[in-house]
Amino acid sequence: MGKRYLMQNYAQLPLVVARGEGARVWDAEGRCYLDFVGGIAVNSVGHCHPRVVAAVREQVEQLIHCSNLYWFEPPVELARELSALSGLDRSFFCNSGAEANEAAIKLARRYGYERGKENPEIITFTHSFHGRTLGTLAATGQEKFSQGFTPLPAGFRHVPFNDVGALWEAVTPDTVAVLVEPVQGEGGVYPATGEFMNALAELRDKEGVLLIFDEVQCGLGRTGKFFAFEHYGVRPDILTLAKSLGGGLPIGAAVAREEIARVFRPGAHGSTFGGNPVACAAAGAVLEVLQEEGLVERAAETGAYFKKRLESLREKFPCIREVRGVGLMLGMELDRPGQSLVSLCQERGLLVNCTAEKVIRFLPPLVIGKEDVDQALEIVEQALEVFLADAC
Ligand SMILES: *Cc1c(COP(=O)(O)O)cnc(C)c1O
């Protein structure tokens, strides 16, 4: 299915997903799977949350698209809510995480340009992932993603993650910003250390370097705080969001302080679909659900339980090198490639993902309960036994 007409850039697993509800999806034959991939951190409020469905349905009957030549209500409401939640001032809406980061990069460059920096440079980190556009590929600190797609835009400097000394050494008079995921996702689930985030704050205070936090994956409750930066007490100047924001609809956002947002004057940036009323209505419902159903606290609690259980699994299976992450953004690093473990879990009714070759990543909807964690771990344990037997 699909092999003939779709470009083969995804290496899909042999599973046709037909329906989803809460933390579960069903295939075309009606077989049920516990979904611990969650659309790669998209389905945070669960599949087809009734309030998201209702918001979309209502908006679709009113207005699906107009144009940013005019005003309409949903993006205004959403921007107001994001300001209240983040403490930042203004939002720009687009359609994906990569576009949110592109907007952040352009904001930082223009901000620097207006302050006399003609060759603005942005510091990013090893293991990072910021998207697949040429600009965000240049920002991404993993060469495997950009191989064969050069030349890339200049102006990025990659520095070892969590290395305070290397960070300070990389700063030059051209440095305008640091772009960082407070908890790295695709790179293998690596949280920033407190020391590193404090150094970033100091860099801002001393050198006026802007802090751009890419919370496309780790934001919006995923780590057990509304924003991952709250774990560190360091607020960004620009924050990027996407993945879970639209409850499954495509939407991204760059949220910034007034002084920075100001550099986007009319005509400076734009997106035809940006601020789409249906996507914004869905996102408004997502933010309500996260707060009213206490999903952020729940992610912290369920995540702590999950992590503790993964750590005890590690005692039983020495092939598990390390368990990392926070809240419901967890990674289990193996001593060998993990893709076949993904298939073994799938055969037993659990969807998980493998990133950075050896890291089994868990990004379940935040609505899961402890019994879902227990069920998932039972499957992981069975799968690990077969995985290890197969290896011998
Ligand atoms: C997924 C991701 C992106 C890219 O988002 P797209 O919507 O795929 O463009 C950027 N940054 C981080 C941290 C991500 O996890």
Q: How far is the CA of 362 from the centre of ligand 1 (A)?
A: 16
For the residues 300-329, what does the mean pLDDT come to?
A: 97
Mark whether 307 and 336 lie in a shared domain: yes
Q: Which of 190, 223, 243, 353 to mutate to test the pocket of ligand 1 (most atoms within 8 A of CB)?
A: 243
What is the C-alpha to C-alpha distance for residues 227 and 27, in angstroms, rounded to an integer? 33
pLDDT digits (tens, 9 = 90+) for 99-118: 999 999 999 999 999 999 99
pLDDT digits (tens, 9 = 90+) for 35-69: 999 999 999 999 999 999 999 999 999 999 999 99
Q: What is the DSSP letter of 229?
A: G
- CA dist 321 to 189, 207, 324, 355, 361, Å? 13, 39, 10, 15, 14
pLDDT-derived band at 1, boundaries 50, 70, 90? low
pLDDT digits (tens, 9 = 90+) for 2-22: 688 999 999 899 999 999 999
Q: Considering its fold, how many domains does the chain have in total?
A: 2
CATH number of the structural domain spanning residue 378 = 3.90.1150.10
Helix ranges (H only) for 87-175 are 97-113, 134-139, 143-146, 164-170
CA dihedral sign of residues 9, 14, 17, 21:
negative
Q: How far is the CA of 185 from the centre of ligand 1 (A)?
A: 9
Neighbours of 281 (CB within 10 A): 28
Mean pLDDT for the chain overall: 97
CA dihedral sign of residues 51, 245, 354, 11:
positive
- Residue finishing a domain among 255, 273, 293: 293
- CA dist 255 to 81, 182, 214, 331, Å? 11, 16, 11, 28
> Which domain covers residue 181, as residue numbers?
50-293
Question: Residue 110: which of 256, 272, 276 has the closest Cα?
Answer: 256
Query: Annotated binding residue at 35?
Result: no
Mark whether 117 and 202 lie in a shared domain: yes
pTM for the whole structure: 0.98
- Residue finishing a domain among 224, 259, 293: 293
Identity of the residue numbered 6: L
* Range in 124-128, 143-147, 201-205, 234-238 the model is least confident about: 143-147
Mark whether 33 and 72 lie in a shared domain: no
What is the C-alpha to C-alpha distance for residues 316 and 373, in angstroms, rounded to an integer? 18
Looking at residue 3, what is its pLDDT? 81
CATH number of the structural domain spanning residue 132 = 3.40.640.10
Q: With 60 as the cut, is the pLDDT of residue 266 above it?
A: yes
